[in-house]
Amino acid sequence: MKLQSYILSLFLFISAGCDGQNNSGNIQNVNSMDTKDNWKDKLTKEEYRVLREKGTERAFTGEFYKHEETGVYVCAGCANPLFSSEEKYDSGSGWPSFWKPVDNSNIKEITDNSFGMKRIEIVCSKCDGHLGHVFEDGPRPTGLRYCINSVSLDFEKK
């Protein structure tokens, strides 16, 4: 057992050193499917741009903006259930909007100071994929608006 984990960490050490991606310092919290190359194989170009590079789809163009079926929206990267059609509403923003996640532990909030704005970024708690942002101008009862890229979501019909 000990030897195995030694070999595994040696392997991780060597592979991390070879691909030149080791300067970010986040090698500890990635799992085996989480390397840049694996994500590029797994995701479409647009999914990669949004989920892994924190991109944003153009407003009013997303697959799920006007989507009204009953079911659960899951992470396009790892299938973690994120939002339910029951908490989806039309915010007029041009992106799918929800007033609550399926479970608070399925998402993570990160302070985002990019573009000179202070916003709260939302990522998937399982794979750290970028989903969108949360704003405090949503409907009752939470008053929150989870503004999410369709590209970051898959839909499981109920």
CB 65 within 8 A of CB 94: yes
Residue 149 Cβ vs Zn ion, minimum distance, rounded to whole Å: 13
Q: Is 147 a catalytic residue?
A: yes
Which position among 75, 124, 127, 147 bears the catalytic label? Answer: 147
Please provide residue 131's backbone torsions phi and psi, each rounded to the nearest 5 degrees: -110, -45
Q: Which is nearer to Zn ion, 108 or 119 (CB)?
A: 108
Range 62-92 burial, b when 16+ CB lie within 10 A, else e: bebbeeeeeebbbbbbbebebbbbebbeebe
CB 136 within 8 A of CB 54: no
Burial classification of residue 158, based on how many CB atoms lie within 10 Å of its CB (0-12 exposed, 13-18 middle, 19 or more buried): exposed
Q: Which is nearer to Zn ion, 129 or 132 (CB)?
A: 129
Residue 78 Cβ vs Zn ion, minimum distance, rounded to whole Å: 3
115 three-class SS: helix
State the residues that interact with Zn ion by CB under 5 A. 75, 77-78, 80, 124, 126-127, 129
Residue 128 Cβ vs Zn ion, minimum distance, rounded to whole Å: 7
Rounded Cα distance between 64 and 2, Å, is 48
Residue 93 Cβ vs Zn ion, minimum distance, rounded to whole Å: 22
Q: Which is nearer to Zn ion, 62 or 129 (CB)?
A: 129
Q: Which is nearer to Zn ion, 90 or 156 (CB)?
A: 156
Residues catalogued as catalytic: 147
